[in-house]
Chains A and B, each alone.
Chain A
């Protein structure tokens, strides 16, 4: 099945370039603010946008993203606005937009309703940090029906069998969790990241792998791209925006993406 996300990653690779996948929370600090910020990221070097849905209990997120998403909720973010944001971003730029969401909001909205509205808004698919393939039967069917990307996670502790499942069922890319931990900048990207990517490569020649968790510097982005299909950066972007608004976010995007393209 075709995947725009996969096409972008593969085209970059074929051209000898790397890819940068950037996270930003919808509704942070406001809906309009998050749209402006996301577009700025896409226009300044982010190849795939990961738009986060603010959620009350984000167990996979560190303090930077927790604070941003709680602020979004405090400012009145509603789930439906996710689609408004996706629509506004995809109308402005051609970058694939994946929605990163914990599972309960999708479940309450209705999995098929969510898929239908996401497609209508121009979204590319979902990254689901707390939905493992074992629990995803309905999502697998619906994402096929609507031709949406679905990104599952592979981690240093995943068994070869589970890695195989994640690689076969993911569309777009496999989210290679670099380290055992939650989101947030780290001085060093764990050597485990290489192992996770190698494990995906062992079981699949097709699947793209992008490495996330702990990546915050241009050196890390470049290094990760030497052995994977992309680097995922979240907290560093959110922190840049929190400290210096859209201008700081643009600078951070340029800084992190500058050395990826020939």
Chain B
């Protein structure tokens, strides 16, 4: 591993993963996007514009909070640091990528963006950027998710976006992506597909990663400046994998820093109801890229299961598949129950209510801390806040009905 420079790697391929497995109709748009991005990323004007928006609109740099009371539950002598992406405007890391792609949309002269969303975080961020830049915005969201994330649907509508519930297939994130791709094929002339994760055809996995890599770049410097060391380990939740790659990327060539991605294990790793793609999937082609995915023997995509809409996805970004096979990142599963316990624990020990997605990473940290030697430190991407999950959490803990409950 020491001879590899993992950080400088770009698509279309990450080892055997990645590529562009899409209808020919989309190739011209992908080529245009790649060309526009390649010019923009080296253009000082673009970089300055993006940095200024992050400073004055997103609220970057996001701070690092040491979670001392939470760390007491994570084994002896373990320090836990939270990279506070939950404090970004719109409440999650998703805005980092959205602002970048919205700027590219303007550069390409397109007037309409479409987006898929699971938990609604990316949809809200996209609707926000559309409002800010004066773009038309349509968000595809699985019907199941519109129900469990009703508050985010209202937010998107208030921001001026049209939300289209997707009623085909499993009616979750996977089907929302299918529907967005169909829209894009038909409207590619004036429309940019603002894909929200590091999956999909090239250049999305590389470009979305680059826009999120600000998380790790900031965090690495902050650790050195404020604490004088790099963390022993990084932790992040993984659905499609955008927040995880955003944190990991800047550290990929720091060999001494271990990395852990936490997938949703749903009912548990010993049950068939999970979304643990990297643990239980095998390589295949889904949504334009070759990567690990949950599928049956015929290559039909299997439905994933998770209490977290944002992790409920049977695919994963190709760079994660590559990092798994290289052994650079270890991917583990966290059940719904473990995630919800961690959500409550972080709320009560630190006064920070994380998104249910993020709670998977926090649950991972509780276990990981007990494996690491005393004196170790763990930097977690606190990728989103839990406001959107209050209905799910309220029901889960019985907070909305005084007669029952798990607290």
Q: A135-B20, A158-B28 are in contact. Are A55 and B284 (CB under 8 A)?
A: no
B221 at the interface (CB under 8 A from A): no
Known pairs A57-B301, A180-B186; A154 contacts B24 (CB<8 A): yes
Smallest CB–CB gap between B82 and chain A, Å? 36
- Whether A162 lies near B24 (C-beta < 8 A) is yes
Identify which of A30-38, A87-95, A99-107, A234-242 touches chain B.
Answer: A99-107
Separation of A129 and B181 alpha carbons in the complex (Å):
13
- Name which residue of chain A comes closest to B287, CB basis: A57
What are 20 sample pairs from A and B whose C-beta atoms fall under 8 A apart? A55-B299, A57-B287, A57-B301, A62-B182, A79-B299, A104-B301, A105-B298, A108-B284, A109-B298, A129-B23, A132-B20, A132-B24, A154-B24, A157-B28, A157-B188, A158-B28, A177-B24, A180-B185, A180-B188, A181-B186
Which residues of A94-128 have CB atoms within 8 Å of chain B's CB atoms? 103-109
Min CB distance B115 to A, Å, is: 16
Complex partner residue of A56 from B21, B24, B300, CB under 8 angstroms: B300
Residues of B within 8 A of A20 (CB): none
B356 to chain A, nearest CB (A): 25
Q: B21, B25, B284, B301: which contacts A131 (Cβ < 8 A)?
A: B21
Partner of B299, one of A58, A66, A105, A132: A105
Greatest chain A CB density within 10 A among B175, B295, B298 is at B298
Residues of B within 8 A of A57 (CB): 169, 174-175, 178, 286-287, 301
Q: Using Cβ atoms and an 8 Å threshold, which residues of chain A touch B147?
A: none
Count, A-B residue pairs, CB within 8 A = 107
Contact (A103, B25) CB under 8 Å given A57-B169, A79-B298, A108-B298: no
- In the bound complex, what is the Cα–Cα distance between A73 and B303 (angstroms)? 14
Which residues does chain B contribute within 8 Å of A177, judged by CB atoms? 23-25
Name the prevailing secondary structure of the B interface residues: mixed
Chain A proximity of B111: nearest CB distance (Å): 16
Q: When the two chains form their complex, are residues A108 and B299 in contact, meaning their CB atoms are under 8 A apart? A: yes
Query: What 1/0 mask marks residues of chain B from 162 to 179 whose CB sits below 8 Å from any chain A CB?
Result: 000000110000110010
Whether A75 is near chain B, meaning CB under 8 Å from some CB there, is no
CA distance A134 to B290 in the complex (A): 14
Interface assignment of A48: CB less than 8 Å from any CB of chain B: no
Query: Across the interface, do A153 and B186 meet the contact criterion of CB distance under 8 Å?
Result: no
Q: Is the CB–CB distance between B19 and A135 below 8 Å?
A: yes
Determine if B29 is an interface residue (Cβ-Cβ < 8 Å): yes
Partner among B22, B181, B187, B297 whose Cβ is within 8 Å of the Cβ of A132? B22
* Residue A249 is within 8 A (CB to CB) of chain B in the complex: no
Docked CA distance A59–B21 (Å): 11
Query: Does A85 have its Cβ within 8 Å of any Cβ on chain B?
Result: no
Give CA–CA (A55, B297) in the complex, Å.
Answer: 12
Instruction: List 13 additional contacts besides A129-B23, A134-B20, A135-B19; criterion CB under 8 Å.
Output: A57-B174, A59-B178, A59-B181, A59-B287, A62-B182, A109-B299, A135-B20, A152-B24, A154-B24, A157-B27, A177-B24, A181-B25, A182-B186
CB distance from B131 to the nearest CB of A (A): 27
Q: Known contacts A56-B169, A157-B188; decide if A130 and B300 are in contact (CB<8 Å).
A: no
Inter-chain CA distance A91–B175, complex, in Å, is 38
The answer to the question of A258 belonging to the interface, with a C-beta cut-off of 8 Å to chain B, is no
**Shortest CB distance B176–A (Å):** 11
Asked if A42 lies at the interface with its beta carbon under 8 angstroms from chain B, I say: no
Which of chain A's residues have a CB closer than 8 A to the CB of B288? Answer: 130
- Knowing A57-B178, A59-B182, A132-B20, the reply to whether A158 touches B301 (Cβ < 8 A) is no
A60 neighbours in B (Cβ, 8 Å) = 23, 182, 185
Q: Are B298 and A155 in contact (CB under 8 A)?
A: no
B185/A159 in contact, CB under 8 A: no
Q: Which residue of A lies closest to B170 (CB)?
A: A56
Contact B300 A55 (CB under 8 A): yes
Contact, CB under 8 Å: A73 / B300: yes
> How far does the Cβ of B171 sit from chain A's closest Cβ, in whole Å?
12
Give the most central of A56, A70, A177: most B CB within 10 Å.
A56
B26-40: which residues lie under 8 A (CB-CB) from chain A? Answer: 27-29, 31
Contacts of A135 in B (CB 8 A): 19-21
Residues of A within 8 A of B28 (CB): 155, 157-159
- Chain A residues near B298 (CB, 8 Å)? 78-79, 105, 108-109
User: Given A57-B169, A57-B174, A180-B185, does the pair A107, B24 have CB atoms closer than 8 Å?
Assistant: no
Q: Are the CB atoms of B24 and A155 closer together than 8 Å? A: yes
B side interface size, CB within 8 A: 34
Closest-CB distance, B336 to chain A (whole angstroms): 24
Set of chain A residues within 8 Å of B31, measured between Cβ atoms: 159
Beyond A57-B174, A59-B182, whether A130 also contacts B23 by CB under 8 A is yes
Complex Cα distance, B3 from A25, in Å, reads: 50
Q: In the complex, A137→B299 CA distance in Å?
A: 20
B189 close to chain A: CB less than 8 A: yes
Give the chain A neighbours of B29 by CB distance below 8 A. 157
Across the two chains, which residue of chain B brings its CB closest to A181?
A: B186
Give the distance to chain A from B301, nearest Cβ to Cβ, in Å.
4
Let me know if B168 and A66 touch, CB within 8 A: yes
Chain B residue numbers with a CB within 8 Å of A132 are 20-22, 24, 27
Q: For the complex, is B346 an interface residue (Cβ under 8 Å from A)? A: no
The verdict on A166 contacting chain B, using a C-beta distance below 8 Å, is: yes
Taking A132-B27, A157-B29, A159-B28 as contacts, is the C-beta distance between A104 and B295 under 8 angstroms?
yes
Residues from chain B with Cβ under 8 Å of A134 in the complex: 20
Alpha-carbon separation in the docked complex, A73 to B27 (Å): 29
Provide the bound-state CA to CA distance between A43 and B29, in Å. Answer: 41
Most chain A CB inside 10 Å of its own CB: which residue of B19, B24, B187, B287: B24
A152: which B residues are within 8 A, CB to CB? Answer: 24
Measured in the bound complex, the distance between the Cα atoms of B168 and A70 in whole Å is: 9
**Does B230 lie at the interface of the complex (its beta carbon under 8 Å from any beta carbon of A)?**
no
Q: Please name the 10 residue pairs, one residue from A and one from B, whose CB atoms are nearest each other, closest first.
A: A108-B299, A157-B28, A181-B186, A79-B298, A105-B299, A153-B24, A104-B299, A56-B300, A56-B301, A59-B181
